[in-house]
Structure 1
Amino acid sequence: MADTAPRTMIRAGRRAQASFGSRPSSGTRHPLVATAMVLPLAALLVVVFGGWDAVVTQASSVGVMLGR
């Protein structure tokens, strides 16, 4: 029984992928599409966790390290 569980999971994953459509044959996604997918989640996380101050602090630290 333990031998068939991984195969069942693989088949279920393939069915789920087929139902959501397939990616281009190269397996890559345009950078603008990836950005458009990530930005709403990133904005939500910044608002929920109050991360804006951390982003500003890190950016200024990197600027100081680069000598700007």
Structure 2
Amino acid sequence: MADTAPRTTAFRTAARRAGLFGGPATDRRHPLVAAAMVLPLAALLVVVFGGWDAVVTQASSVGVMLGR
């Protein structure tokens, strides 16, 4: 069992160097690019699952708790 951890770590290190799983560890994505990638999916999920009502309800509940 103790033998598996070094192999796993070595695999992850090799995968990062090879550019697998999101590129090298030093590669950074600009925050605006990340937001541009996430926001369309978030908007789709809000529309499909009716999440806007849930967000408003939760925000209202938090506001009431903080106002006490």
Moved segments of 4+, more than 3 Å: 62-67
* Unmatched runs of 5 consecutive residues or more in structure 1: none
What are the ranges of 5 or more consecutive residues in structure 2 without an aligned counterpart? none
TM-score (norm 1): 0.52
Match of 1:40 in 2: 40
For residues 42 and 65 of structure 2, the distance between their equivalents in structure 1, rounded to whole angstroms, comes to 25
Contact 2:46 2:52 in 1 (8 A): yes
Q: What corresponds to 1:11 in structure 2?
A: 10
TM-score (norm 2): 0.52
Alpha-carbon shift at residue 41 of structure 1 (Å): 3.5
Q: Which moved more, 1:31-40 or 1:41-50?
A: 41-50
Identity %: 62
Aligned residues: 63
User: Hey, what's the Cα distance between the residues in 2 that align with 1:17 and 1:23?
Assistant: 6
